[in-house]
Structure 1
């Protein structure tokens, strides 16, 4: 097994275990999720550009692909952990994905992506869908009644 495979597998396992811990409200959930997403970011940043170049992806397209992937992962982390800057990361991620989509639509050359890019993309979407499922399961939080509402009750 190579380093990419180990990093990707560890990222998926730690991320899923962290999401499960968060669903159960157990201690250590945030640390596990950060470790999983951190490994995924390392895997994406360290190996994807080189692998895309070897696969024949044009350099500009490869940079936008990796940037959109990295910002997408960071936006998911910011959203899940309720950090400041969530909206900015979401807008930046959406903008990069829009640019990537336009580049793919108007590209004259055949589009080639490396196996590493596709693997990190699938792991990212798997973890994101698990997090969204977790957020959808949570009951809505109670909003405190205003004094006017308390008087009518």
Structure 2
């Protein structure tokens, strides 16, 4: 239980620091973001499936929940790092999210663990932070001078 909290806290702190560093074009942003999302992925794969099973989640729903979080985290990491294949991961994440929503609506047993809710909240907090900061992101050359639109014309007398 203590390891889960430390891992989730580290994921949130490193992920938010990475987003902030990326916004300011500081070195180490990618390493911090990889550490944050990596800690979140370890938390999902290491603790969430067991916590869901202990809470009484059905096996099929548990597998879809874990797969949705795993593919979603990998899709965001691939997108932020500009690695090829992110579009396929995002589409797979969307399909899994749709399947998860349908399964949760159709399920009579809607039991999820506190760990799943915590990891999901951290994941969405990091994604919202990325989207928020990306919308106000500076250009790659913040101190570039504007290009003059006028040309010097010869004078006619």
- TM-score normalised by the chain length of structure 1: 0.88
Name the larger-Rg structure: 2
In the alignment, structure 1 segments of 5+ residues that lack a partner are: 143-153
Paired residue for 2:85?
85
Q: What is the total number of aligned residue pairs between the two structures?
A: 141
Paired residue for 2:145?
none
Paired residue for 1:96?
96
Paired residue for 2:6?
6
Equivalent residue runs for 1:39-78 within 5 Å: 39-78=39-78
Larger helix fraction of residues = 1
Paired residue for 1:137?
136
1:110 Cα deviation after fit = 2.5
Q: What CA RMSD, in Å, does the superposition of the two structures yield over aligned residues? A: 1.5
Paired residue for 1:121?
120
Runs of 4+ off more than 3 Å: 139-142
